[in-house]
Amino acid sequence: MLTERQLEIVLAVVYEYIKTGEPVGSRTLAKRYLRGRSAATIRNEMADLEEMDFLYQPHTSAGRLPTPKAFRVYVDAILRRQRNPGEEYKYWVQELKKKRDDLESALRYATKLLGDLTKCVGVAAVGPADEAVLQKVEFVKVAERTALLIVILKGGLLHHKVIQLPQDMDQEILDELSHRITTVASGKPWRKVRDALLQYVLHGLQSYAENCKAALKEVDILLLKDSYHLFTGGKHNILSVPDFADLSRLQVIMTLLEEESSIVELVQKFSPDRGLSVMIGKEDPAFPIEDCSVIMASNVKDGKKTVLGLIGPVRMDYEHSISVLETILGGISTDVEEEGDK
């Protein structure tokens, strides 16, 4: 549990680091944020916060940098505060409201706005409010190492795709694979069963382990791809972010942004049914890029879920980004009253 003074220091370090990108020293905190507190006192508290994994020192005699744990404290403090749309965004909101009859056009425009206003990557998606619920999965052999994947969802919606498998399988084995997936997944939301399926499917089919993994991945991709219509904007902003100056880091995030299924998975994983969520750095071990943060906000109306999001560095301006995101979502949501409608 942080003391009041420790909390003040954590919030100040994160705020200053977001502004400058440089390690923060005790003298800077004493001069700019914690007047009346001596640099020595602050330095002692910072040492304690380092032991508590809120701060770290990049090298001896340098100031401290915030960890994702410190960013979480900072973001939670922002989320607890009352937030009002900024007057500077009024024009953009009015432009979005004009486009609401054409949702795809509005979402494309929204991602451009998000990217331009935050210097992050804007993400928008629209999909069904309810998760995909499987009814049946079938694999039909069409050639050596090639099968037709058929996925039937609750309500009768059908998806199909020709897939390639690592090794050849007889139709009898494909039928067993189909049966095992359907037995576990039928009548359940795909997202809730997908991670538990592999072990059950592999039981008795160990010699076809690679095929089973490949088949499940194809089902996953098919459902993810068809669940949401996705838009992105501002990818070029990543090129100017100092945090991604390292070529290997830049390559990882650019690869993520080029894979539509990965973006859709982020949308499904981090967007709440309503409201806003923030994932910072390594908080989710399954997230492939530890140097990134994701902010997602969504609204459900008339059976559709509209999602807006931002992907950027851990050192993003969260207060500004959250304000922009909520304002633009408010402008695009169909259940927001326009001024003068009453």
String of DSSP letters for 278-323: EEEGGGSTT-S-TTEEEEEEEEEETTEEEEEEEEEETTS-HHHHHH
Residues 138 and 150 in one domain: yes
Give me the mean pLDDT over the 298-310 stretch. Answer: 84
pLDDT confidence tier of residue 208, bands split at 50, 70 and 90: confident
What is the pLDDT at residue 192?
78
The confidence score (pLDDT) of residue 230 equals 87
pLDDT digits (tens, 9 = 90+) for 131-170: 678 889 999 999 999 999 998 887 677 888 899 999 999 9
pLDDT for res 336: 41
pLDDT of residue 226: 59
Looking only at the bridges linking them, the beta strands covering 65-66 and 55-56 are: antiparallel
**Amino acid letter at 182?**
T
Residues 126 and 234 in one domain: yes
User: Going by C-beta distance under 8 Å and a sequence separation of 6 or more, which residues neighbour residue 255?
Assistant: none
Number of compact structural domains in the chain:
3
User: Of 308, 325, 314, which Cα lies nearest the Cα of 92?
Assistant: 325
Give yes or no: residues 118 and 254 share one domain: yes
Instruction: Tell me whether residue 82 is in a domain.
Output: no
Split at pLDDT 50, 70, 90, the class of 341 is very low
Distance CA 304, CA 130 (A): 8
pLDDT band at 342 (very low <50, low <70, confident <90, very high): very low
pLDDT value of position 339: 42
304/290 same-domain check: yes
Q: Give the CATH number, domain containing residue 72.
A: 1.10.10.10
| Same domain (yes/no): 235, 327 | yes
The answer to whether position 243 is within a domain reads: yes
Q: Alpha-carbon distance 104 to 229, whole Å? A: 9
Is the domain of 111 the same as that of 254? Answer: yes
Q: How far apart are CA 165 and CA 134, in angstroms?
A: 22
Final residue belonging to a domain, choices 165, 200, 227:
227
Q: Do 95 and 214 share a domain, yes or no?
A: no
pLDDT, position 130: 64
Tokens of 230: 């996705």
Biggest alpha carbon distance in the chain?
A: 78
Residue 10 predicted with pLDDT over 90: yes
Q: Give me the percent of the chain exceeding a pLDDT of 90.
A: 45
Model confidence at 124, pLDDT cuts 50, 70, 90, reads very high
What mean pLDDT, rounded, does the chain reach? Answer: 86
Integer Cα distance of 145 and 173 in angstroms: 12
CB neighbourhood size of 225 (10 A): 15
Chosen domain end from 77, 104, 122: 77
Which DSSP state fits 33?
Answer: T
Least confident of 60-64, 165-169, 321-325: 60-64
pLDDT of residue 148: 95
How far apart, in whole angstroms, are the C-alpha atoms of residue 264 and residue 216? 17
Tell me, yes or no, whether 119 lies in a domain: yes
Pair 166, 101 in one domain: no
Do 231 and 107 contact (CB within 8 A), yes or no?
yes
Amino acid in the structure at residue 244: F
Domain residues for 107?
87-130+228-332
pLDDT at 252: 78
Q: Where are the beta strands (DSSP E) in 158-291?
A: 158-164, 229-233, 275-280
pLDDT of residue 228: 77
Could you count the other beta carbons within 10 Å of the beta carbon of residue 224?
23
Picking from 174, 202, 227, the residue at the C-terminal end of a domain is 227
Helix axis angle, 68-80 to 4-20, nearest 10°: 100
What's the token pair of residue 12?
A: 């100040």
The three-point CA angle 204-207-211 to 5° equals: 100
Separation between Cα atoms, residue 231 and residue 108, nearest integer Å: 6
Which H helix or E strand runs over 186?
Answer: none
Residue 9 lies in a domain: yes
